[in-house]
Amino acid sequence: MTGVKFLADSKGLYGFEISGHSSHGCDDETGKIVCSAVSSAAYMAANTVTEIIGDRAESAVDEAKMYFSVSNPCEASVKVLEGLRLHLTELSGQYSNNIRIIGGAKHVKD
């Protein structure tokens, strides 16, 4: 299962952490499609924030893990992250056996 945690502080969303695989095995075509959808959406959001909007961010990608955190997000970057949250929340509603949102957006930045 893929878990998604959105990171937020008092100003709004500033990042996300994604871990795990949506597929339950080699023959799980639905899981593979969901995994691809999650990855594609996450990369599009991260690239839009850094390459199109121009905000600085920390990111790390490893096997079945992605971390993305914007240092000081402008309003446009927050909106992109809100769009990602909406998209992945809707996806988790459709594919609850493959993806879940962990803790919503209540994680507070230290």
**pLDDT number for residue 4:** 96
CATH 3.40.50.970 fits 2-108, yes or no: no
Q: How confident is the model over 38-60, as pLDDT tens digits? A: 999 999 999 999 999 999 999 99
Give percent of the chain above pLDDT 90: 74
CA distance 66 to 96: 20
Binned at pLDDT 50, 70 and 90, residue 104 comes out as low
- Residue 22's pLDDT is 81
Nearest to 15, CA basis, from 72, 63, 75, 81: 81
Taking the domains of the chain in order of start, what are their residue ranges? 2-108
Check: CB of residue 68 under 8 Å from CB of residue 59: yes
Mean pLDDT of 10-32: 86
